[in-house]
Chains A and B, each alone.
Chain A
Amino acid sequence: MAENQQNLNNEISVSIYKKRWMKFKSMKRGYYSFIIIVSLYLLSFFFPVLINSKAIVVSYNNELYFPAVLDIIPGVSSYYPGERFGQNIPGEADYRKLNKAWQEENSDNWLLMPLYQSDPYEDITSENNKMYESPSANHWLGTDNTGRDVFARLCYAFNISISFALLLTVINYIIGISIGGAMGYFGGKFDLILQRIIEVWANLPMLFVIIILSSILRPSFTLLVAIYTLINWIFLTYYMRAEFYREKAKDYVAASISMGQSNRTIIFRHILPNSLVPVITYFPFSIVAGIAALVSLDFLGFGLPPPTPSWGQMLEIGLQDINKWWMVFSPITAQFMTLLLIVFVGEAIREAFDPKVYSRLR
């Protein structure tokens, strides 16, 4: 206890955010969840070299090719026809066959395959894939209704889900903070009118509206983010409006107004940093909501356009035939683990930001 007190005294000059970060770090469950989820997400950008049917490196006639590496960079084609490597097949090179053939021939050419040699788009049209294979060494989690590898799709969907939720949350935050902040800061008629509009929005059944919009417009990734943003920015305005309303009455704001600072400076430089607490604590839960929403929409068939790998779409196929249990359990487990990790992080952040210490007398 005395030592604790000592520590606190030493930290008195440490900024509040640093203190909160220390407290967050001291909460093992949340902190490790944070490390795991962040590293998994970063790793997921390199899935093309880990989980792919293309080779990482091909050395053919003393020239090097990197088909799988090119997959990492969006918008770059990694297409090499089979003929390029002396393979007598139409269309794209089949690296697995190539590997086998070269090894048998003991040829000077070589290639390096990824750890897991399936990609999420390879369906029954490629020779060795069958529909609804149960889990095996080749396909760790089996294959789906068109013979695509479930494990590969699962992993790629992880990246897409988190990216979707992150993008969504960031855009929502920018809009929600600006509008909510402006409402609280300017008040008056502006506030009143926007409040009415927000009430109308907030009382609409959101999933229903999203489905209406997505059934009219065929959604792409960007459009889906846009539709969702249109609806979700509202929830943040409540917090921000209340925070700005409260902060505006404080002396430091009066001081900066009397110094003649612009509204923008006051809003973004002075008030915003003081009213970020609810926003930060809400962030992980907003991501949870984003992921869950994407899965629901994909499940209903109003989400990302096929053949984008997605948990919801896998679940939809799985639930059509409950004997194909791997098609149901894989996406649900993946989703569940992801959400659980984020919820853990969220709980820890919330606690780190909470100055109250629960102590019971008896």
Chain B
Amino acid sequence: MATYFLRRLLLIIPTFLGSTILVFTILQLAPGGPLERTIQQLQSGGMGEMAVEGGGGSGSITGGSILPESAMKELKRFYGFDKPIWQRYLAWLGVWPRGIKHRDFSFDSEEYQIEKRVGKRSGQIWRVDIHRDGEDFTVYEKDGTISEVWEAKLEEKNEDGSIDGVIFQTEFSGVLTGNLGKSYTFAKPVTEIMKPRFRISLFFGLIGYFLTYAICIPLGIRKALNHGSPFDFISSVIIFIAYSIPGWALGGVFLVLLGGGSFWDIFPLGGFHAPTEIWEQMTLWEKIVNQAHHAVLPIISWFITSFATLTVLMKNSLLENLSQDYIRTAFAKGIAEKRVVWVHAFRNSIIPIASGIGHIIAIVITGSYLIERVFNIDGFGRMGFQAILDRDYPVTMGFLVIVVLIRLLGNIISDFALATVDPRIRFK
């Protein structure tokens, strides 16, 4: 069995690559990407300025683009659009060198060696020499050795014989090295943006997850044991309702009814907790109360659907087992009902529940954009959603990485739980 799960873990790799390649390609090929968006913003900004200056018509608009060539080049480089898509993906993954710290230089037609300031090293200005041999470049440090960090390459040959080049460092840095890149909108590392939001989603997710199981299993058992009773009927009605209304829509009903609109004012309208200024002045106890107060409605909405399915599953599963022959035999042997139900029937009927464990973990994280949006919670799902709207590709991809990994692991956890509770199952 260990080999089976090892194989499953290894199979995560191709699936993960497949998923990310697919979404990466869609994003990169999509029209209206970050590059086009920035160009548009810069252009409209530029137009505005010119209007203020009194329309001092310089000829630069005539080409259709008012961005200078060099700025275009820089933008393309910043967003990585200067490379083919497969290189962008591999660089994102961290197995292809990524060029960083680009600096332009140019040679006149008869020039073969120039000195270039490339930044600072240990407090001193760092200069390197670039030698040109036709169209190839070699970068030398001041002590005459070939530079280990700097590379140079040809950018463009001009008509007058001069040559433009670019000097840059390379590094391997991507998902595999734990670097998800920098967000375009927040200008911060993606991991830094994801962490607090992930924590928020996890808070709701875990509490709801445990509550769901803590309620559904006893409820399902009780319904099965009292099949056909008024209790069963009433709880079934509630379950049908819960199943027929999406959680986020129920959240909307809650807000209108209990959020202080035209009806009652019992719960806050949204947010993870009170606004930061108030939150920071609260005592610990007040914080706990406030947090719980804000969490009630989102948690109910979050888990209403899995609550309904899980309860029905538990009930049907136990009911089915209770009608089996081995239960009849156990009763015939004169075993007490309690023992028959709890030892014989229950252990068998928990099997389908166990297999859902991993899938629900995935729901914890992924099923939440809508609810986070309704309750105005700045959580993980909402971050992913907003990133798509803003064309913030590093965050979008970061979100995807986390979600896909959690789903894949969730599946394996499910199978593992299944194998644990059901000794008949042997994975090979």
Contacts and interface: CB of A to CB of B under 8 A. Distances in A.
Contact of A203 (B255, B260, B320, B407): B407
B343 interface: no
A208 B337 CA distance: 49
A332 B389 contact: no
Given A204-B22, A213-B26, A300 B370 contact: yes
B244 A339 contact: yes
A130 B27 CA distance: 42
B255 to A, nearest CB: 5
Interface in B343-380: 366, 369-370, 373-374
Interface stretch (B159-167, B193-201, B211-219, B261-269): B261-269
B403 A208 contact: yes
A212 B248 CA distance: 20
Contact of B245 (A208, A319, A339, A359): A339
Contacts of A319: 252, 255, 374
A288 B246 CA distance: 10
B26 to A, nearest CB: 6
A322 B261 contact: yes
A319 B250 CA distance: 12
Interface string A307-332: 00000000100110011010011001
B78 interface: no
Interface residues of B, number: 55
Contact of B261 (A207, A295, A325, A336): A325
Contacts of B30: 212, 216
B263 A328 contact: no
A212 B19 contact: no
Interface in B377-428: 384-385, 388-389, 396, 399-400, 403-404, 407-408, 411
A89 interface: no
Contacts, number: 131
B14 interface: yes
A296 interface: yes
A320 to B, nearest CB: 11
Interface stretch (B41-49, B289-297, B323-331): B323-331
Interface string B268-301: 0100000000000000000000000000000000
B320 A358 contact: yes
B132 to A, nearest CB: 44
A332 B241 CA distance: 12
B245 to A, nearest CB: 5
B256 A328 contact: yes
A212 B252 CA distance: 25
Contact of B243 (A295, A300, A325, A343): A343
Nearest to B399: A208
A137 interface: no
A360 interface: yes
A172 interface: no
B407 to A, nearest CB: 5
Contact of B366 (A205, A356, A357): A205
A357 B322 CA distance: 12
Interface residues of A, number: 43
B109 interface: no
Give the interface SS of chain A, mostly helix, strand, loop or mixed. helix
A200 B244 contact: no
B18 interface: yes
A361 B327 contact: yes
B246 A295 contact: yes
A110 B369 CA distance: 53
Contacts of B269: 322
Given A295-B249, A339-B245, A203 B374 contact: no
Given A340-B240, A343-B240, A343-B244, A205 B249 contact: no
Nearest to A199: B15
A212 B253 contact: no
Interface in A180-230: 196-197, 199-200, 203-205, 207-209, 211-213, 215-216
B402 to A, nearest CB: 10
Contacts of B26: 209, 212-213, 216
A335 to B, nearest CB: 7
Contact of A204 (B23, B241, B248, B327): B23
A208 B400 contact: yes
Given A300-B373, A325-B263, A339-B244, A360 B227 contact: yes
Contacts of B248: 296, 299
B263 A200 contact: no
B31 interface: yes
Contact of B323 (A208, A300, A359): A359
B327 A215 contact: no
Given A296-B370, A358-B323, A362-B337, A215 B255 contact: no
A322 B15 CA distance: 43
A298 B132 CA distance: 59
Interface in A253-300: 288, 292, 295-296, 299-300
Contacts of B190: none
A296 B396 CA distance: 20
Interface string B223-247: 0000100000000000011011110
7 contacts: A200-B19, A208-B403, A215-B389, A216-B30, A295-B249, A296-B246, A332-B249
Given A205-B404, A292-B246, A360-B322, 10 more contacts: A204-B22, A208-B366, A295-B249, A315-B249, A318-B256, A323-B262, A325-B263, A335-B249, A336-B245, A357-B323
Interface of B: 14-15, 18-19, 22-23, 26-27, 30-32, 227, 240-241, 243-246, 248-249, 252-253, 255-256, 259-263, 269, 319-320, 322-323, 327-328, 331, 337, 366, 369-370, 373-374, 384-385, 388-389, 396, 399-400, 403-404, 407-408, 411
